[in-house]
């Protein structure tokens, strides 16, 4: 892994640490702490994708050496290759479900329990890497992955307050647990699928990989197509005030998640998905 990828991995580590904290803070403080006035999650997820598109276009312009070249690349890779673009609908749907489930899980679970449950994506990533990418993981790697999940779970449980189980007992806890497991599964599968897409060579070329930022633009556009209709069917959406509950923390969460998505793609492009599994901690 080169220096740029190592820096991206380090920044991604910090970003991953901040995500559950910011999510929990946003869900508990938005709308003055009144869940009835909290922000609409699908609206925030759509804004995250808009941020990703803006950032990706800017990075594509820098990569291609100018706006005209970037526009030409977008036309060539997105508009003229609809089949490839359509394939990204799969991870787009998974990431949309993941983003929504993550924030809903943080509304129902203590931060420690959520962090523990979300470690399940380490095993999903490992399994999908073997099935989809034909990777061979040696036994000691499987043991290390399992040990990572168990070890982090033990540490996080040790940090959990004694009254957490009483405070979150009942049906709400099970709902939150379901959301967390779903988010972990979607994250693991989509990450490996996206790795396969961004590393796949174009037919008739000499192992030329498509632009990372093109793939991110395609992914974000698909997510918006899925997300916008969901906004209008969401019970928490207020057409008269679509940005209800949006404060500095919520906007910061959206920007943070958008940057995190780009960092994950950059690390996957440079290395392997299995290299970033320790970030689950």
Per-residue pLDDT tens for 24-47?
888 777 765 566 678 899 999 999
Question: What's the pLDDT score for residue 281?
Answer: 40
Rounded CA-CA distance 208/192 in Å is 19
User: Is the pLDDT reported for residue 147 higher than 70?
Assistant: yes
Rounded CA-CA distance 44/84 in Å is 27
User: Is the pLDDT reported for residue 261 higher than 90?
Assistant: no
Rounded CA-CA distance 238/59 in Å is 34
Q: What angle do CA 56, 243, 23 make, to 5 degrees?
A: 65
- DSSP 3-state of 183: helix
- DSSP 3-state of 163: coil
Does 139 fall in a domain?
no
User: Is the pLDDT reported for residue 195 higher than 90?
Assistant: no
Lowest mean pLDDT across 6-10, 34-38, 73-77: 34-38
User: Is the pLDDT reported for residue 157 higher than 70?
Assistant: no
Between the alpha carbon of residue 12 and those of residues 22, 47, 125, the distances in Å are 15, 20, 17
Does 149 fall in a domain?
no
Between the alpha carbon of residue 100 and those of residues 146, 227, 232, the distances in Å are 27, 10, 15
Do residues 251 and 180 make contact, with C-beta atoms less than 8 angstroms apart? no
Question: What's the pLDDT score for residue 207?
Answer: 46
User: Is the pLDDT reported for residue 276 higher than 50?
Assistant: no
Does 68 fall in a domain?
yes
User: Is the pLDDT reported for residue 82 higher than 90?
Assistant: no
Q: What would the mean pLDDT of 190-216 be, rounded to a whole number?
A: 71
Lowest mean pLDDT across 11-25, 122-136, 202-216: 202-216
User: Is the pLDDT reported for residue 167 higher than 60?
Assistant: no
Does 213 fall in a domain?
yes
User: Is the pLDDT reported for residue 203 higher than 50?
Assistant: no
- Percent of the chain topping pLDDT 70: 79
Does 249 fall in a domain?
yes
Question: What's the pLDDT score for residue 119?
Answer: 74
Question: What's the pLDDT score for residue 278?
Answer: 43
- pTM of structure: 0.78
How many CB atoms sit inside 10 A of residue 178's CB? Answer: 15
- Which H or E run includes 155? helix 139-159
Structural domain that includes position 36: 3-105+187-280
State phi, psi for 206 to the nearest 5 degrees: -90, 80
Between the alpha carbon of residue 33 and those of residues 18, 26, 46, 111, 254, the distances in Å are 20, 9, 23, 17, 19
Lowest mean pLDDT across 44-58, 199-213, 243-257: 199-213
Does 233 fall in a domain?
yes
* Domains of the chain: total: 1
Does 41 fall in a domain?
yes
Kindly give, in sequence order, each residue whose CB lies less than 8 Å from that of residue 267, ignoring residues fewer than 6 positions away. 5, 8, 9, 12, 275, 276
Buried b (16+ CB within 10 A) or exposed e, 138-163: eeeeeebbeebbeebbeebeeeeeee
Q: Which residue has the higher pLDDT, 213 or 173?
A: 213
Kindly give, in sequence order, each residue whose CB lies less than 8 Å from that of residue 123, ignoring residues fewer than 6 positions away. 145, 146, 149, 188
- DSSP 3-state of 34: coil
Q: What would the mean pLDDT of 165-179 be, rounded to a whole number?
A: 71
Does 16 fall in a domain?
yes
């Amino acid at each position: 892994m080169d220096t740029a990828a190592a820096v991206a991995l380090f920044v991604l580590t910090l970003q991953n640490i901040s995500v559950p904290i910011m999510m929990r803070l946003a869900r508990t403080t938005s709308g003055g702490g009144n869940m009835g006035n909290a922000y609409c999650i699908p609206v925030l997820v759509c804004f995250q994708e808009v941020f990703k598109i803006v950032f990706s276009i800017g990075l594509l312009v820098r990569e291609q050496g100018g706006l005209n070249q970037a526009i030409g690349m977008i036309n060539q890779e997105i508009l003229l290759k609809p089949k490839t673009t359509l394939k990204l609908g799969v991870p787009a749907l998974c990431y949309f479900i993941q983003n929504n489930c993550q924030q809903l899980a943080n509304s129902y679970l203590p931060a420690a329990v959520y962090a523990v449950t979300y470690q399940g994506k380490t095993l999903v990533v490992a399994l999908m890497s073997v099935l989809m990418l034909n990777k061979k993981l040696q036994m000691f790697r499987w043991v290390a992955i399992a040990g990572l999940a168990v070890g982090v779970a033990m540490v996080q449980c040790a940090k959990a307050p004694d009254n957490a189980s009483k405070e979150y007992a009942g049906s709400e806890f099970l709902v939150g647990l379901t959301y967390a497991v779903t988010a972990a599964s979607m994250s693991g599968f989509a990450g490996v699928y996206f790795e396969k897409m961004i590393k796949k060579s174009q037919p008739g070329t000499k192992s030329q990989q498509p632009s990372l930022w093109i793939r991110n633009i395609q992914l974000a556009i698909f997510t918006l197509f899925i997300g916008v209709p969901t906004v209008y069917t969401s019970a928490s959406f207020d057409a008269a005030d679509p940005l209800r509950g949006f404060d500095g923390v919520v906007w910061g969460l959206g920007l943070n998640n958008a940057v995190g998505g780009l960092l994950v793609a950059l690390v996957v492009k440079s290395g392997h998905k299995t290299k970033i599994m320790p970030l689950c901690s």
